[in-house]
Structure 1
Amino acid sequence: MTRFTRRGLLGASALAAVGVATGCSSSDGDSGSGGKVAGATGSVDWWDHFSSFQSLNDDWAKTESTALKTNISHQYYDASKAPEAFQLAHQANKMPDVYSNVIGLPLSALVSGKWVHELTLADDVKSKIPDGTLTEGITGLDGKLYGFPLFSLRQSSTLVWTNKGLWTKAGLDGANPPQDFDSFKAALTKLKGAGVQPLTLAIGADGGRIRDQIDDMAQTAGFPGYQGLMFTTGEYQYHHDAYVTVIEYLKELNDSKLILPGSNNFSVVDARTRYATGVVATFIDGIWCAGGAKALSPAIVPKIGAGQILVPTAGTKAYCYRGRPGASYFVAAGSKDPEAAGKLIGSFMTEDYQNGMIAAMDQPPLNLDLVASSKAIDPYKKMVAFCKDNVFQMPQAIVKNPAQAAVDAQRKPVTPHVGNILQGYLSGSIKDLKGALKKLSDATEADRQQAMTKAKSSGAKVSLDDYAFSDWKPGQDYESKS
C-alpha cells in the first residue's frame, strides 16, 4: 500500500495527492477515549494518527458527545500503525465514522474505492474556512465535498530547531541561529569544538522526511517549482543546480562530521528523540517540532530555540511554495451516522478546538490569527509568523483543470527519490549526483506520461499545458485564473 508523509498534507504534492501528515511523535501503544452521555441518540467512532493531539482529541470527544448528544469514541493510532489498521478495517467493512487521512491515495481513488462519504458542513462552519481552501480535485470531486483540511498551507518541514543551553556552551545564540549555509556551518563547527554534538536530521528510513526537506531547501536555493516540477514550464528538473547545491551542502556537513553519527539511519522519531533529550544541539524539522519534542521530553521546552529554513547566501529571501491544503479528515463511506460525523468534523473549526491545536504546537490551524495571542511558546509563534510571511500558495495543475484528478489516480511512486539519492550519495554508492537526479527527472516524467495516457483513454480532457504557469511570480500567492 502506498503511503505519503507530511508532504501530502501540506497540499504540497505536485500530483495533488491527498496524503496527510504523519503524527509528530511515536507512541509505544495506541490510546482511546470517549464520552457516554445520557439520552444519546447514536454513536460516532473517530480514529486518527495525530500524536500531539491525543489529549486534545480525547477531551474533545467527551465535549462533543455532550454537544451533539452522540456517544463519540476517539481512538489514536501511532502513525506507523495507522495505515495498516485503516486498510484492514476497510477490507472488513469496519471503518470508523471519522478517520484521518493517512491512506496515501488520491481523492479520486478514495471515492472510487468507496473509502469516503460526501461531507456536509454547516454554512457557519464553511464561513470560517479561508477562501480557496476547499478545492475541486483535492478536497472535493464532481462538485461534492469529501475531505476536511485541518491545517494551514503556510508551514514548513525544514526549520532549524536548537537547544539554547547547548548553543550557549559554545558561545552562540540558539534563539537566533544563523540563516545562511556558511554561517550555519561555522556555528556547527563551533559547537563541535565546544564538545557538543552539532546536528541531526532524519535521513534514514524510507528517506521521506529528508526528501521533503531537500525539496524545501531547493526552493530557497533558487528552484522555481516544487518536487522537481518547474512552475513556469511544467517540466521536471530534479537535476536543476538548486538541488545539486543543497545535496552537496548536506554532504559537506556530513563529511565534516557535523551531523550526529547514525543520522543516516534515523527515522523522524529517532532524530527528534536525540534532540528532545539533549543529545544534540540542533535538529532540522518541521513547524511541529516543538509539540513533538515536548511529547517526547517536556524538559526540552524552555530550551527550545528556532530559526528559519536555511538559504545558500546571506540576504536571500527564504521563499517557499505549497499547494492548497489537502484533506485531513474524512467521513467513511459506510458511516452509520454521516450527519453526526460531519458535525464532529465541523466542530474542528471552532476557536476552542483551533486554540487546542495551537497549544499542542503541531501544524498550525487554518486560523493563523489565533497564534500570536495563544499560550504557545515564543519559538513556535516565531516560526508560524515566519511561515505566514514566507510560504506562498503555488500553482497546481489540478486547480487549473480538475480533470487532472484522473491523472493523479494513475500516478505511481518513483524511486529512488531525492531522499534515497542523498542516502546513496552520502554512503558513496552514488558517485554521479547530477546523473542520478537526471534519471529521477526522466523517470518522473515517464510516470506522468503513462498516467496521462491512461487518463485520456478513460475520457479525461487533460494536457501537459495544465502544468505550465507562465504568469507565476516568486514571492506571492498564485491565484488561479480559471
Structure 2
Amino acid sequence: MPGMTRRSLLGASVLAAVGAATGCSSSSSTSNTSSGATGTLDWWDHFSSFKHLNDDWAKKQSGPLKTNVAHTYYDASKATQALQLAHQANKMPDVYSNVVGLPLPALVSGKWVHEVTIPADIKAKLPKDAFNEGITQLDGKLYGFPMFSLRQSSTLVWANKDHWSKAGLDPNNIPKDYGAFKDALGKLKSAGIQPLTLAIGADGGRIRDQVDDMAQAAGFPGYQGLQFTTGEYAYHHDAYVTVIEFLKSLNDDKLIMPGSNNFGVVDARTRYASGAVGTFIDGVWCAGGSKALAPPIVDKLASGQILVPTAGTNPWCYRGRPSSGYFVSADSKNPDAAGQLIASFMTEDYQKGMIEAMDQPPLNLDLVASSNAVDAYKKGIEFCKSNVFLMPQAIVRNPAQARVDALRKPVTPHVGNIVQGYLAGSIKDLKAELKKLSDATSADREQALSKAKAAGAKVSEADYVFTDWKPGQDYGAAK
C-alpha cells in the first residue's frame, strides 16, 4: 500500500478539494442505496476486485443497520490523497480501508480512527493472535481486525496465455529466474508482442513494495530494509542492488512497455487486462483486479512465482502479522453502525464473496481450493501458502514500540522513488542513493526512539534484533 504523501492545496480550499475528490474523480465510483433507512453511512475502499461485491453488500446491510450504506471505490493510487483531503476537512467517511500508510499509533494520535466494538460471535471466528497491541489495538482499545491472510504477495508474475503461446512459450510454466524470464520477454518482443509492464509511477508505492519482495527472494534477510538478525537498516544490501539492476536491464533492453515509469497500478493493470501487453508483475489480487477492468481476460490468465536471481533459489518472503483491513473514522457520526458494518465482513457470505472476487486472500486460505476462483489465482495462493512466512516484529516483542511508531516520519526518496530515478537516468550511483536511504531511515528511527524514551517508554534498538530468526520458516507460532 502506498505511504502517506503530504501535498499542499495550492489555490483551493480543503472543502473544495474534497468535493472534487469525492464527487468528480474518474478514478472513483459510488454506489448509493435507498432502502428507506434514515441517514447515510459512507464506506470508502481501494479494492477494485471487490467493487461489485461491496456495492451489493452496501445495499444488503442498509436494512439491518437501519441506515443507507453508500460504498465508494477509489483506485489505490488515488485513495490516499482522497483520504488525506477528507481528513484535513473533517469529512472522513465512516468506514475506510487501510491505505493511508501510517502505523496505528499515528492514526490514533492523529485522530484518524475510532475505537471499534465487535460482537462476541464475530470475535470468536478470528485467530487468537489477530489482536495485537500496536497493530490492531492500542492501550487495550480495539481499532480493527485482520480480514486478510499474511500469506500473500504483491509480486507474482502474470502472463497472457494467448500472447505467450503465440511466442512459443508455455504460459503454465513461467520462468522463475531472472535470466530465463528475460529470455522469455525477448521472445515475446520478437513475436511482435509488448513484453512487460510494471506499475512504476504515481508515488512509487507499488514498485517499492515489489522491490522489497524481490529483495527478500534475492536473499535479503529482513523486510523493508530492516535486517532481522541485526536490527540495522541496509537498503544498500547487495540483494536490493541486484533487483534494481535487473529492472534497469529490462528497461534498457526495451522489454518494459514505454510509459511504465509513469503508470500507477490501474494504468499498468489496464494494459495487461486489455491484452496490450504479454506480462505483468502484480499481486495475487491481479486476477480479480483484471477481471474488474476487462472480464474477457479471465480465460487468458496464467500466473508464476516471484522471480529469483538464480535458478533453484528458494523464493522466500516474509510478512508481519496482518493489520486491520478497515477502520472506523474519528469523524463518524454513527460509529456503532460503522463497527457493525466491518464486523459483517467476517460472515460466511461475505467471505465467500471475497474469494470469488479473487482479491487479497481471506484469513482461512483453505477455503480457496474448493472455490470457483480461476486456476491462476489458486496457483498464486498455493505459492504464497508455501513461500511466505511470518516475520519477527519489534512491536510484537515489545508493545511499547507503538509509541516509537507514532513518532516515525515518512522517509523520502524511498525505494520506489529511487527506482523511478535510476530507470529514468537521473540517479547515477544506485548504491550510494540506497545507502542514503538506509542512513535516513536509521536516523528517523533514532529520533523516534529518543523522543519515546524521553516520554517514559521503555524501548530500545535491541527490540529490533532477532538473532534466533531463521529463513524459510515462521517466526514463533502462526495460527
TM-score by length of 2: 0.90
**Deviation of the 1:3 alpha carbon:** 5.5
Structure 2 residue 462 is matched with structure 1 residue 468: no
Partner of 2:10: none
The one of 377, 381, 385 aligned to 1:388: 385
Q: Note if contact 1:31-1:77 (Cα within 8 Å) is conserved in structure 2.
A: no
RMSD of aligned C-alpha atoms? 2.2
Structure 2 residue 215 is matched with structure 1 residue 218: yes
Structure 2 residue 307 is matched with structure 1 residue 307: no
Q: Note if contact 2:143-2:327 (Cα within 8 Å) is conserved in structure 1.
A: yes
Count of matched residue positions in the alignment of Structure 1 and Structure 2: 458
Q: 1:80 to 1:182 in 2, by over 3 A?
A: closer
SS of the equivalent of 1:61 reads helix
Q: Note if contact 2:160-2:275 (Cα within 8 Å) is conserved in structure 1.
A: yes
Q: What's the CA shift string for 1:281-324, capped at 9, x where partnerless? A: 00111111111111211121111110000111111111100111
Q: What's the CA shift string for 1:43-86, capped at 9, x where partnerless? A: 63323232222211121122223334444333334444444443
Q: Note if contact 1:399-1:480 (Cα within 8 Å) is conserved in structure 2.
A: no
* Superposition pairs of residues 17-36 of structure 1, within 5 angstroms: 28-34=27-33, 36=35
SS of the equivalent of 2:42 reads strand
**Deviation of the 1:41 alpha carbon:** 7.8
Partner of 1:449: 446
SS of the equivalent of 1:206 reads coil
**Deviation of the 1:92 alpha carbon:** 4.4
Structure 2 residue 270 is matched with structure 1 residue 242: no
Q: What's the CA shift string for 1:270-291, capped at 9, x where partnerless? A: 2111111111100111111111
Partner of 1:196: 193
Q: 1:313 to 1:31 in 2, by over 3 A?
A: same
Residue identity opposite 1:341 in structure 2:
A
Structure 2 residue 356 is matched with structure 1 residue 359: yes
Q: 1:218 to 1:86 in 2, by over 3 A?
A: closer
SS of the equivalent of 1:30 reads strand
Partner of 1:125: 122
The CA distance in 1 between the partners of 2:298 and 2:313, in whole Å, is: 30
Q: Note if contact 1:208-1:419 (Cα within 8 Å) is conserved in structure 2.
A: yes
SS of the equivalent of 2:303 reads strand
**Deviation of the 1:329 alpha carbon:** 1.1
The one of 454, 467, 477 aligned to 2:474: 477
Structure 2 residue 328 is matched with structure 1 residue 331: yes
The CA distance in 1 between the partners of 2:284 and 2:200, in whole Å, is: 18
**Deviation of the 1:186 alpha carbon:** 1.3
Partner of 2:7: none
Partner of 1:186: 183
Structure 2 residue 167 is matched with structure 1 residue 170: yes
Residue identity opposite 1:449 in structure 2:
E
Q: 1:86 to 1:476 in 2, by over 3 A?
A: same
Residue identity opposite 1:181 in structure 2:
Y
Identity percentage of aligned residues: 74
Q: 1:258 to 1:351 in 2, by over 3 A?
A: same
Q: What's the CA shift string for 1:128-155, capped at 9, x where partnerless? A: 2123222110110011111232221111
**Deviation of the 1:423 alpha carbon:** 2.2
Q: What's the CA shift string for 1:244-283, capped at 9, x where partnerless? A: 1111111222222211222222222221111111111001
SS of the equivalent of 1:111 reads helix
Q: Note if contact 1:163-1:281 (Cα within 8 Å) is conserved in structure 2.
A: yes
Residue identity opposite 1:73 in structure 2:
A
The CA distance in 2 between the partners of 1:86 and 1:218, in whole Å, is: 30
Partner of 1:272: 269
Q: Note if contact 1:151-1:365 (Cα within 8 Å) is conserved in structure 2.
A: yes
Structure 2 residue 422 is matched with structure 1 residue 425: yes
The CA distance in 2 between the partners of 1:202 and 1:239, in whole Å, is: 22
**Deviation of the 1:352 alpha carbon:** 0.9
Q: What's the CA shift string for 1:362-390, capped at 9, x where partnerless? A: 11112212111111111001101111111
Q: 1:388 to 1:27 in 2, by over 3 A?
A: farther
Q: Note if contact 2:2-2:205 (Cα within 8 Å) is conserved in structure 1.
A: no
The CA distance in 1 between the partners of 2:249 and 2:89, in whole Å, is: 50
SS of the equivalent of 2:427 reads coil
* More divergent stretch after superposition (74-83 vs 336-345): 74-83
The CA distance in 1 between the partners of 2:263 and 2:57, in whole Å, is: 34
The CA distance in 1 between the partners of 2:94 and 2:26, in whole Å, is: 23
**Deviation of the 1:99 alpha carbon:** 2.3
SS of the equivalent of 2:186 reads helix
The CA distance in 1 between the partners of 2:257 and 2:315, in whole Å, is: 26
Partner of 1:12: none
Partner of 1:350: 347
The CA distance in 1 between the partners of 2:419 and 2:86, in whole Å, is: 36
Q: Note if contact 1:44-1:337 (Cα within 8 Å) is conserved in structure 2.
A: yes
**Deviation of the 1:169 alpha carbon:** 0.7
The CA distance in 2 between the partners of 1:73 and 1:265, in whole Å, is: 32
The CA distance in 1 between the partners of 2:343 and 2:390, in whole Å, is: 24
Q: Note if contact 1:218-1:243 (Cα within 8 Å) is conserved in structure 2.
A: yes
Q: Note if contact 1:272-1:283 (Cα within 8 Å) is conserved in structure 2.
A: yes
Q: 1:124 to 1:27 in 2, by over 3 A?
A: farther
Q: What's the CA shift string for 1:232-252, capped at 9, x where partnerless? A: 110011111111111111122
Q: Note if contact 1:35-1:63 (Cα within 8 Å) is conserved in structure 2.
A: no
**Deviation of the 1:119 alpha carbon:** 0.9
* More divergent stretch after superposition (231-240 vs 197-206): 197-206
Q: What's the CA shift string for 1:177-216, capped at 9, x where partnerless? A: 1111111111111112222111111122222211111111
SS of the equivalent of 2:129 reads coil
The CA distance in 2 between the partners of 1:81 and 1:240, in whole Å, is: 32
Partner of 1:368: 365
Q: Note if contact 2:109-2:406 (Cα within 8 Å) is conserved in structure 1.
A: no
**Deviation of the 1:27 alpha carbon:** 5.1
Residue identity opposite 1:201 in structure 2:
L
**Deviation of the 1:457 alpha carbon:** 1.7
Partner of 2:8: none
The CA distance in 1 between the partners of 2:188 and 2:391, in whole Å, is: 37
Q: Gaps (5+ residues) in structure 1?
A: 6-25
Partner of 1:140: 137
Structure 2 residue 263 is matched with structure 1 residue 260: no
Q: Note if contact 1:359-1:376 (Cα within 8 Å) is conserved in structure 2.
A: yes
Q: Note if contact 2:75-2:266 (Cα within 8 Å) is conserved in structure 1.
A: no
